[in-house]
Amino acid sequence: MTPLAERLVRRIAATGPMTMAEVMAECLLDPVHGYYTTRDPLGRAGDFITAPEISQMFGELVGLALADAWDRQGRPGDVVLAELGPGRGTLMADALRSMAAAGLRPRPHLVEASPALRAVQARTLAAHDPVWLDDVAALPDAPLLLIANEFFDALPVRQFLRDGPGWRERQVGVQDGALVFGLGGRLPVPDLEHRLADTRDGDMVETCAPARTMVAEIAGRLARRGGAALIIDYGDVGTTGDTLQALRAHRKEGPLESPGEADLTAHVDFGPLAEAARAAGARPEGPVPQGVFLETLGITARAQALAARAPEQAGTIAAAHRRLTHPEEMGSLFKVLGLTPPDAPAIAGTRPMAP
Ligand SMILES: C[S@@+](CC[C@H](N)C(=O)[O-])C[C@H]1O[C@@H](n2cnc3c(N)ncnc32)[C@H](O)[C@@H]1O
């Protein structure tokens, strides 16, 4: 049993079952035993790999899309560039390079909870004098360009099982000294009223209140001050089912198997995020599949240019291009949601194509 599992067992024995969101928050961000707080989990030697770690093309194109949005909104001089959960800082470094080529040189603001990853970001972005923040609400009040890649999938979700006109929440309890899943009593859940129409008894749905709160904060800023935000993650609109996944050394395992030592994620339901953005005064566009987004922004031409400059790496570049865009790889599962003020043009690549 991991040290965090032992602590959770003691806590549950003393105070009763915990919600999945409470367990997920402890597993990922506990100051002593949390998965993100204690390590750099990215890359081939770690537990998983993300799009910016696959190829520089990803961050470059994200940077260009945001620089283009900034240009089309009249190039505000006091613009703030922010990233939520910047990992190793790779995406930000690649985006800053392509932004500079477009005449935009903002100071990066990094919303990061992990001291271990803040240290890695400090090395990657040393030349750009980054600022670290604990929360989006602490960002300066200014026009905002914001990136979040594989951030929202790390926010704690609550899980509910449909039971007639109500819902039973999935909980974590203790049996024979080990952590086990259980179910709470049947309750009405106002946040899930709209899901009564498209679910049946026994279906599971997930909610993520912190994600909606953060998107509302970002959207309010975009509506007031201008700018653009790109939220990129794996998920869909109106997700149903248990999407909680634990990953360790690139292999799936049970979410209660090694608390604090495996990555825990849940698919992002983009529907409530788009709703929260609209309610806060911004215009959501998409979500579009990542492959469509990157192809619209010219990833094929960029891959060809890189391969022409380094022919010995042509195979690696072609493989990265395929991995990022192909529907059987990251191209369909990952989606891109764009947010802008209602009167601004949509961010390039985020408008769904006509059927
Ligand atoms: C899956 S990694 C993605 C890293 C990076 N965006 C990439 O694409 O490589 C998730 C990131 O979000 C951070 N994170 C997770 N929960 C957070 C929270 N509540 N507040 C701030 N950062 C958080 C993690 O420490 C990590 O940097």
Q: Is the distance from the beta carbon of residue 55 to the nearest atom of ligand 1 less than 6 Å?
A: no
Indicate which atom in ligand 1 lies nearest the CA of residue 90: 9
Kindly report the protein residue whose alpha carbon is nearest to atom 14 of ligand 1.
85
Q: Residue 101: how many CB atoms within 10 A of its CB? A: 11
Q: What is the pLDDT of residues 193-216, one digit of tens each?
A: 889 999 999 999 999 999 999 999
Quote the pLDDT of residue 169.
97
Beta bridge partners of residue 236, listed in sequence order: 269
Quote the pLDDT of residue 239.
83
Residue ranges in the chain whose pLDDT is less than 50: none
142: Cα separation from own chain's centroid: 23
Cβ partners under 8 Å of residue 196, min gap 6: 162, 165
Domain boundaries, the chain: 1-21+157-216+236-284
Tell me how far the alpha carbon of residue 301 lies from the centroid of ligand 1, in angstroms.
30
Tell me how far the alpha carbon of residue 307 lies from the centroid of ligand 1, in angstroms.
31
Burial, 220: exposed, middle or buried (Cβ in 10 Å; 0-12, 13-18, 19+)?
A: middle
Quote the pLDDT of residue 259.
95
Tell me how far the alpha carbon of residue 86 lies from the centroid of ligand 1, in angstroms.
6
Cβ partners under 8 Å of residue 312, min gap 6: none
Indicate which atom in ligand 1 lies nearest the CA of residue 48: 1
Q: Is the distance from the beta carbon of residue 111 to the nearest atom of ligand 1 less than 6 Å?
A: yes
Quote the pLDDT of residue 12.
97
Residue to mutate (ligand 1; options 40, 48, 58, 112; most atoms within 8 A of CB): 112
Tell me how far the alpha carbon of residue 41 lies from the centroid of ligand 1, in angstroms.
10
Quote the pLDDT of residue 43.
62
**Residue among 143, 48, 58 at smallest CA distance from 93:** 58
pTM: 0.95
